[in-house]
Structure 1
Amino acid sequence: MIEKHSKASGIGLERLCTQDWMRSTETEYGVEFLEAWFQGRAYQKHRHDTYAISLTTAGIQAFDYRGHSEISTPGQVVVLHPDEVHDGHAGTEEGFGYRELYVEPALIFEAIQTMCTHNCSLPFVCAPVTMNQKLSAAVINAFQDTRESLAIDSLIMQLAEGLMEADPSCKQAPLPRHLDVAALKRAGQYLDTQKTRVVHSLELEAVTGLTRYDLARQFRIMCGTSPYRYLLMRRLDFAREQLVQGRSLAEVAIEAGFADQAHFSRMFKATFGITPARYQAMRVVKGANVEQHNH
């Protein structure tokens, strides 16, 4: 199991609607938990290196994904595959609320192998909005249960079952070639420790014993993204932790290994769909607003 700590451009503070808020956990055993409420445009185009599985809890959640405009209403589940570009906005003036799980693809990959008679690829859910009861129940339970390791293990299995139900083809299509799972885990574990700098290909070749090109191919099959994107996300995860603590953008940019604040801001916005300044501002919205929109 690959474990890491915490997930989830423009310069200057964007206008922050007082109704917008978000709160999230650090990544716990490969899963990040996020709750949010937005009016208007929530996120510009961006992508994650995880599965993003959300349950719309209020209003209409709208987004563009794979060339189509989609909407999700309360009770519906949205499933976005790793490395797929999307945005997000309210479908009505009233705004929308949702609960979302960001799940490491390697965990889904590992769980699925226990349910298939042969090695299976990661599920790809063609219809991003679904009424899949297994996925819906998994998200609801995730925000009610404890977040201990055994509870997360159960959650991963529930999500894997729901994803396989939504993409039955993953049961029939075996992996094209052998994967060196142990080497890929070593690569992930090494990248998890390098949150403040650029890592070079020679380093990963030494860690894994794979050529850079074979590593890139195998890593994407198991983790749903490239080693470069995986490391960039770990650096941006570290940056998010620092922003929540009130650090300045300039300080965070340097500590996360970016050339300067402008470079950091561009990469942050391209990854999360909002500027680091707006993200920092939304994370300090008072609890009163959060409680108001939770009901």
Structure 2
Amino acid sequence: MRAPRTHHVEQHRSAVPGIDAMTLASTHHFPRHSHDQFGIGVIGFGAQRSWSGIGAVEAGAGDVIMVNPGEMHDGAPAGGAARGWRMIYLDPALVAGELAEEAAGPVEIVRPVAQDPLLARHFARLFAGLTAARPDRLAGEEALLRALAHVQRRHGVAPAPSGGPAPSVARALRRLDGAPELPATLAELAALSGVSRFQLLRGFAREVGITPHAYLVQRRVHLARQLLARGRTPAEAAAEAGFADQSHLTRAFLRQLGVTPGRYRRAVA
């Protein structure tokens, strides 16, 4: 018998600008996507199987899950049953500022899953402080710094120099990143990149992990998320981010982030 479908998401109002906090319990399969932020969370119950930059990984209850900004990943329940987890997303500028005294440059998380009870406890204190009705600023600052310092020491590394994607893929990425709200075609991207449509499609999927269209939808969701945080209505955000209408935004937003644009706006605007 197939397990019943479950999907419950709570977008919390965070006490710290630059940090989002979420609680999820779901059988939802998240497609390959990325975030503009660092993500740190703890699985509360069940198990999750994910594709990551180091291959397939699985996280169970008590495990810490982490992701770097821009890192492609997905998520599905292991065994079909619902899994529950809490997650915080931190803007890279905030992380860099907090770690400026300790880290000699940018930090990259090297493990998507870790069995680290001490980090899980640091996370629990941080999450509780972020979502408290009457947050204690000093306690919150300490919890944030302790959690980030632990991640940097135990699970972080200075990123290795990278030549980046191939020039043809890089040109397509610049176009999609620079104006995600504008319509795009494979012919246009191929012409910009100086290769055939087939070469661009194959090279883009190989280097980025998803197709140009899937990447464009992601960038539009990211843009809509920023617009909602600034107070735009879902309909306004959909139009400004390049979606055909609000229903298209809602489907993409829910599929990628697990929460509707309206609920997200009410939590962060």
Structure 1 length as normaliser, TM-score?
A: 0.57
Determine which structure has greater relative contact order: mean sequence separation of CA pairs < 8 Å that are 6+ residues apart, divided by chain length. Answer: 1
Report the secondary structure of 1:88's partner residue.
strand
Residue 253 of structure 1 is matched in structure 2 by 238
Corresponding letter in the other structure for 2:244? Q
> Deviation string for 1:107-148 (max 9, x for gaps)?
2212222124xx3222x2222110223421122112333345
Q: Return the offset for 1:56.
A: 0.2
Residue 238 of structure 1 is matched in structure 2 by 227
1:131 aligns with 2:115: yes
Instruction: Indicate if the aligned counterparts of 1:57 and 1:74 stay in contact, CA closer than 8 A.
Output: yes
Change (3 A) 1:79 1:174: closer
Match of 2:57 among 70, 73, 80: 70
Distance in 2 between residues matched to 1:78 and 1:258, nearest whole Å: 30
Report the secondary structure of 2:241's partner residue.
coil
Corresponding letter in the other structure for 2:112? P
Instruction: Indicate if the aligned counterparts of 2:243 and 2:249 stay in contact, CA closer than 8 A.
Output: no
1:279 aligns with 2:262: no
Corresponding letter in the other structure for 2:150? G
Distance in 2 between residues matched to 1:66 and 1:141, nearest whole Å: 29
1:24 aligns with 2:4: no
Match of 1:100 among 74, 83, 87: 87
1:36 aligns with 2:24: yes
1:166 aligns with 2:154: yes
Corresponding letter in the other structure for 1:258? A
Change (3 A) 1:151 1:266: same
Change (3 A) 1:174 1:20: closer
Gaps of 5+ in 1: 1-16, 176-196, 199-228, 285-295
1:56 aligns with 2:43: yes
Percent identity at matched positions? 15
Q: Return the offset for 1:106.
A: 1.4
Residue 144 of structure 1 is matched in structure 2 by 128
> Deviation string for 1:211-245 (max 9, x for gaps)?
xxxxxxxxxxxxxxxxxx999736424337879xx
**147-156 or 93-102: which moved more?**
147-156
Instruction: Indicate if the aligned counterparts of 1:132 and 1:166 stay in contact, CA closer than 8 A.
Output: no
Report the secondary structure of 2:260's partner residue.
helix
Report the secondary structure of 2:61's partner residue.
coil
Instruction: Indicate if the aligned counterparts of 1:60 and 1:73 stay in contact, CA closer than 8 A.
Output: yes
Change (3 A) 1:60 1:114: same
Instruction: Indicate if the aligned counterparts of 2:220 and 2:242 stay in contact, CA closer than 8 A.
Output: no
Give RMSD over aligned pairs: 3.8
Distance in 2 between residues matched to 1:264 and 1:238, nearest whole Å: 16
Change (3 A) 1:155 1:105: farther
Distance in 2 between residues matched to 1:58 and 1:282, nearest whole Å: 27
Distance in 1 between residues matched to 2:150 and 2:119, nearest whole Å: 5
Q: Return the offset for 1:88.
A: 1.1
| Count, aligned residues | 202
Report the secondary structure of 1:160's partner residue.
helix
Distance in 2 between residues matched to 1:53 and 1:242, nearest whole Å: 26
Residue 193 of structure 1 is matched in structure 2 by none
